Amino acid sequence: MAKLILNRLAKDFGTGRPAVNGFSLDVREGGFLALLGPSGCGKTTVLRMVAGFETPTDGSIHLGERLLADAAQSLPPERRNMAMVFQSYALWPHMSVADNVGYPLKVRGIKGDAYRRKVEEALAAVRLEAYADRRPANLSGGQRQRVALARCLVTSPDVVLLDEPLANLDRHLKQEMEETFREFHQRSGATMIYVTHDQSEAMALATDVAVMSEGKLLQVASPAEIYARPEGRIVGGLIGRGAILSVNCSMEANRQLTWDRIAPLLAGADGPPAEILVRQEDVMIGGEGVPARVVSSLYEGERYAAKLALADSQIVRAFSRTPVSVGESMNVVIRSAWRL
């Protein structure tokens, strides 16, 4: 196995604006990369170029030393030793679960004992041994997704590409499948690229999160790093449930601000215009803070999630253990913020 290197990758469908542009990224061997971004930003196009379903109009894709594609040449998908799992699962309805899983082996001419052993192993990896003879129609959504994963595992791919594989599942099943994906990643040792627009899914699963917008890569970092130190408004707005406040703030080196720095900003300090990201968990209700008014309050079971308007009408979010009601006035302290 080897590192997957995307170098200044571009794809222009001739629509006036390139779908992907100057996209450079190294995906470390055995890593689990989540590719996150708003709808239409080019995530699927990147994945399809890696898989070999699209040819780049510029740049290159290497797996280790091996050139997979550039503008002049492109290795066909079946010669890349990759597997792609789609949102739709794409299972054959007329085949049993075992036959679906074994299909990629048949295509490669693997038969007999080797075939049976690999299918059994792949089914065991997703805990579906007991369902080998069923048809996909007689399975739940989560089980179908596991068949698609087993089919992907059966050929021992170097790289597994997943395009919003959990988008059709309910919240409970999503959590269960996230666990299955983690196990799958550990067991297979494959490098995985996981496209999603759901930041909490990306944070829960990935070893690295790459955020893209309008065809470009904005930032790539570990989930903890990108949460703590997002670069710019788009990444800050996408990761975590924060609020972005416009203030005037001097551009000092330290971008992590504490209340003693934040309070003067809210009072209208001098300085160039800036934006600060305020996380929900850093907004404390009560104390010697600034006045705020509750504009919405949602009971989440273990706590209330409130939206609060500051004196200048800018909105922050906060959690409260005790009930808060719309229209209520209170003081808030923002104990920490990040200058974007």
State in angstroms the smallest separation of the CB of 178 from ligand ATP: 19
Q: Which one, of 47, 1, 46, 18, lies nearest residue 191 by Cα? A: 1
Measured from the CB atom, the residue of 86 and 299 that comes closer to ligand ATP is 86
Q: Give me the least distance between CB of 19 and ligand ATP, in Å please.
A: 3
Residue whose pair of structure tokens reads 């067991």 in the numeric block: 187
Q: How far is the CB of 87 from ligand ATP (least distance, A)?
A: 9
Sheet containing 283-299: order of strands: 315-320, 304-310, 283-299, 329-334
Q: Is 167 or 309 the residue whose CB approaches ligand ATP more closely?
A: 167
Binding site for ligand ATP (CB under 6 A): 13, 15, 19, 37, 39-45, 197
Least distance from ligand ATP to the Cβ atom of residue 48, Å: 8
- For ligand ATP, the closer CB: 43 or 307: 43
When the beta carbons of 16 and 301 are compared against ligand ATP, the nearer one is: 16
Question: By C-beta, is 7 or 87 nearer to ligand ATP?
Answer: 87
Q: In angstroms, rounded to a whole number, what is the distance separating the alpha carbons of residues 44 and 196?
A: 9
Between CA 69 and CA 61 the distance in angstroms is 5
List the beta strands (DSSP E) in the chain. Answer: 4-11, 20-27, 32-36, 58-63, 66-70, 82-85, 159-163, 191-196, 208-213, 216-221, 242-248, 256-258, 273-279, 283-299, 304-310, 315-320, 329-334, 336-339
Q: Which is nearer to ligand ATP, 23 or 131 (CB)?
A: 23
The residue among 40 and 323 lying less far from ligand ATP, judged by its C-beta, is 40
Half-sphere exposure of 124 (CA within 13 A, CB side): 7
Main-chain phi, psi angles of 87, to 5 degrees:
-60, -35
In the bound state with ligand ATP, the residue whose beta carbon lies nearer, of 12 and 328, is: 12
CB of 74 to ligand ATP, least distance (A): 15
SS3 of 144-161 = HHHHHHHHHHCCCCCEEE
For residue 265, the one-letter residue type is L
CB of 196 to ligand ATP, least distance (A): 8
Residues recorded for the chain:
340
Report the alpha-carbon distance of residue 302 to residue 221 in Å, rounded. Answer: 31
CB of 61 to ligand ATP, least distance (A): 15
- Identify the three-state secondary structure at position 223: helix
Closest approach of Cβ 210 to ligand ATP, in Å?
12
